[in-house]
Amino acid sequence: MKIAKIEPYVIVHKLDTPFYFSQWQYDTRKICIVKVILEDGTYGWGEGYGPAGVIKAGIEFFTPFLLGRDALGHEVLWQEMYRRSLDYARSGSLQAAVSAIDVALWDIKGKLLDQPVSVLLGGVKNPVIEPYATGLYFTRVDNLEELLVEEALLYKSQGFKATKMKVGLGIKEDIKYVAAIRKAIGPEMRLMIDSNHAYSYKEALELSRKVEKYDISWFEEPVSPEDYDGYRRLRENTTIPIAGGECEYLKFGFKRLFENDCVDIAQPDICATGGLTEAKRIATLAQAYNKDVIPHSWGTWIAISAAVHFVGNLDKNPGRMYNDLPTMELDRTENALRDEVTKSEIVVKNGLLNVPNTPGLGVDVDIDALEKYREIDEAKIEFRL
C-alpha cells in the first residue's frame, strides 16, 4: 500500500485560563498533527510534540522522500527520515516530525492488518493501565494554594491514584505547596513533582531532602537536561526516584542518560523522540539498564493513544507474579484541541483505562473541529512545553 498524500495541520486554541510553570507562561495551546493517506484512501493520524510550526515544516521536508513508498515498511521509512536528517538534526524538532509521521504509519498499519497497535508492537502485556493525573500548574491568583488543593482533591474524587504537580518557583514556595497537597490528598495517593529543569544540582538536592518526608514518588526534570553529572549526583544523594528524558531524542540520547546513571525512570515522549518505532527500541535499552519507562505525554488523543498502546506492550520490570499496574501520564489541563478535535474510544473510569482493541490507534479527528482550530498564519514564536 503506497503513500499518496501527507497533510500536516497546525491547530491552536486560546486558553480561557492562562497558566505557568517554572519556565514560561502560556495562554495558547498549539499542536501539529498529520494525516498520512494511502492510494486506497486508508489514512492514519500522527502528532508531533514541540513547536508546531517547526514540526509542520519538518513534515513537509520529509514528504517528498515518502510519497509513493510502501506504508507497511515503517522501519524502512523511519530509517530514510533518520538518514535524511542525521547531518543537522540528530535531536530536536525534526525528530518530532519523524515521530508524527511514524505514529501515523503505525495507525495505518493497524487498520490495514485489522489489529490494534499494541498487538502489532508484540502483544498486550498490560491490558489495564493506571494513569496519573498531570495538572497543578500555577495561575496568577491570590489564593493559589487553595486552588491547587481543590484541583488535587478533584483528581482524587475522580479515582486517580496518583497526581503530578509543578515545582520550580523557589524552594520555600515549593515546600509550602507540596506540604499542602500532601496533607489534602492523604498518604494513600501518590504524589510526584516536576521542576521542568528549574534548579541547579545544589538547589535540587536541598529541595529533595526537604520534601522526602512527603513521600514523593519521583522528582521529574530536577536539573538541566544538559547536566548529566547533576542528575547522577542527585540520584545518589536522595531517596526520591529521579525521572527525566522528555528532552532526549532517539535511543542515543537515552543511552547517554543510562550510561551516566542519571535516572530511575526514563520518560521518552513518543511524539518527539522518534515515534513508536524508536520508543520500542528505547524500552528495550531501558530494560537492559534495569530502568523503568513511563512515557511523557502532552497533546491530543493521538499522542495519548500512542502512549496507551506503548504502555500496554511494555515488559514488567522486573517480572513477578503480582505486579503493580503500569502507569502513564494523562494531562488534565484545559485543551480543546484534545477534547474537540480528536476522538478516542479510551475511557478513564475509577482511575483506570483499558488498552483499546480497535484497529490502529483507535483515534480519529473531527474534521469540522479541525477546521475550526486550524491556524493559517504560523509565523509566530513558539516555545516548548
**Catalytic site residues?**
296
Report helix, strand or coil for 18. strand
| Beta strands at 265-266 and 242-244: parallel, antiparallel or unpaired | parallel
Distance CA 215, CA 182 (A): 9
Tell me the C-alpha distance between 296 and 3, whole Å: 29
Going by C-alpha positions, the residue among 51, 9, 35 that lies closest to residue 361 is: 35
Task: Name the pairing type of β-strands 353-354 and 128-129.
Answer: antiparallel
The 3-state DSSP class for residue 197 equals coil
Please work out, in degrees rounded to the nearest 5, the angle formed at the alpha carbon of residue 246 by the alpha carbons of 118 and 34.
Answer: 55
**Residue 225, preceding bond cis, omega within 30 degrees?**
no
Number of Cβ within 10 Å of residue 225's Cβ equals 16
352 backbone dihedrals φ, ψ, rounded to 5°: -130, 155
Q: Confirm if 126 and 355 have CB atoms less than 8 A apart.
A: yes
Cβ–Cβ under 8 Å, residues 285 and 93:
no
Q: Please name the residue that has the C-alpha cell 484534545.
A: 338
- Single-letter amino acid code for the residue at 196: N
